[in-house]
Amino acid sequence: MAKLKVAVVYGGRSGEHEVSLRSAESIIAKLNPERYEVLRYLVTQEGKWSPGPILPEPGANDGIDVVFPITHGTFGEDGTMQGLFELADLPYVGPGVLGSAAAMDKEFTKRVLHDSGVPIVEYLVQRRGELDADAVVANLGLPVFVKPANLGSSVGISKAKTHEGLIVALEEAARYDTKVVIERAIAGREFECSVLGNEEMTASFPCEILPTREFYDYEAKYLLDTTRIELPAKLDAVQTATMRKLAVDAVRALDCEGMSRVDFLYETATGHFYVNEVNTLPGFTSISMYPKMWEHSGISYADLLDRLIELAMQRHARRKATQFRR
């Protein structure tokens, strides 16, 4: 059989460029060379493509059978890159345009999840140029988490404990986005759960994140080797089943397919789980939790890549069977 030509698209213009490079190298190293021919497409931080761009025209990219995008963050994980692949009529790994865009925007994620009955933490949204620390304190109290609405890997996120710290946190988040999401801080535990599938979805066994810092920030995720992971998470059977169900519910609500990682908060005082975020192109580095959770759940890293590519091809075939004109 001829090898499947897999275009790995990585890098990108977002603040997660370096993380994307590491994810791509891990993926490329694990793609079975007997089954796949890897085509590298590096997108620089200035948005330049090397060796050249994928063209937004059906049939114009004859050397590509399927795309494996691993461009985390803005301009890669937010539906823009997915729109390019749709225009090019290419199968691609991960959720489509709508799911990617909805999950990337933290405000829209919360709106959709709330309307779907998935539990979320109380929050406010403010705009760059209209930041109001007093309104945050009046509505949510302190401490709070302050986040850019459209970014990942904890870039630009701060925990504010004082009014002065809140002002700084709002300004920091507004550097990365015109919209800022502020959430009531939860005293408790942090968990993650991986979801895999198209029409039929399954959730992995969850893991618990035990950061040694204030929270699971960028440094804890990618630069320091101090964060501890409990895999599987120390939860009883009911709690595990609840989290796995909520993970699938969240992914379905956002119309995501292929792969997603759902991040949870557990409030110790109430015993409630809250969906914090849904990541549609989660990290695939050697220490990333999406593949590690599936490995613990019985799917190796290499087999997971095979499955994701199969899901991409299946979804593309399903879409090709859809009629778009009379």
Indicate the burial class of 106 (C-beta count within 10 angstroms; 0-12, 13-18, 19 or more).
Answer: buried
165 and 300 within one domain: no
Residue pointed to by tokens 């890897």: 38
Catalytic pick among 222, 274, 290, 301: 222
283 and 197 within one domain: yes
Q: Is residue 311 part of a domain?
A: no
User: Could you give the CA distance from residue 136 to residue 145 in angstroms, rounded to a whole number?
Assistant: 11
Active site residue 261: yes
62 and 173 within one domain: no
Catalytic pick among 189, 217, 283, 315: 283
pLDDT of residue 66 exceeding 60, the answer is yes
Catalytic pick among 23, 277, 288, 315: 277
pTM (2 d.p.): 0.91
Active site residue 222: yes
Q: Is residue 309 part of a domain?
A: no
142 and 58 within one domain: no
Indicate the burial class of 225 (C-beta count within 10 angstroms; 0-12, 13-18, 19 or more).
Answer: exposed
Q: Is residue 314 part of a domain?
A: no
Active site residue 277: yes
195 and 111 within one domain: yes
Q: Is residue 255 part of a domain?
A: yes
CB atoms within 10 A of CB 111: 15
Active site residue 300: no
pLDDT at 219: 55
Counting every residue written for the chain, the total comes to 326
137 and 81 within one domain: no
CB atoms within 10 A of CB 308: 19
CB atoms within 10 A of CB 21: 16
201 and 70 within one domain: no
Q: Is residue 263 part of a domain?
A: yes
Q: Which 3 state secondary structure label does DSSP give 214?
A: coil
Domain hosting 239: range is: 101-119+187-304
pLDDT of residue 255 exceeding 80, the answer is yes
Domain count of the chain? 3
What are the structure tokens assigned to 102, written together? Answer: 């909805």
What are the structure tokens assigned to 271, written together? Answer: 């015993």
The string of pLDDT tens digits covering residues 155-192 is: 789 999 999 999 999 999 999 899 999 999 999 999 99
Catalytic pick among 16, 177, 217, 249: 16
Catalytic pick among 65, 183, 263, 301: 263
212 and 246 within one domain: yes
Query: Residue 220: pLDDT band by 50, 70, 90 thresholds?
Result: low
Residue pointed to by tokens 């080797």: 225
Q: What is the DSSP string of 246-288?
A: HHHHHHHHTT--EEEEEEEEEETTTTEEEEEEEESS---STT-
pLDDT at 202: 98
pLDDT at 322: 85
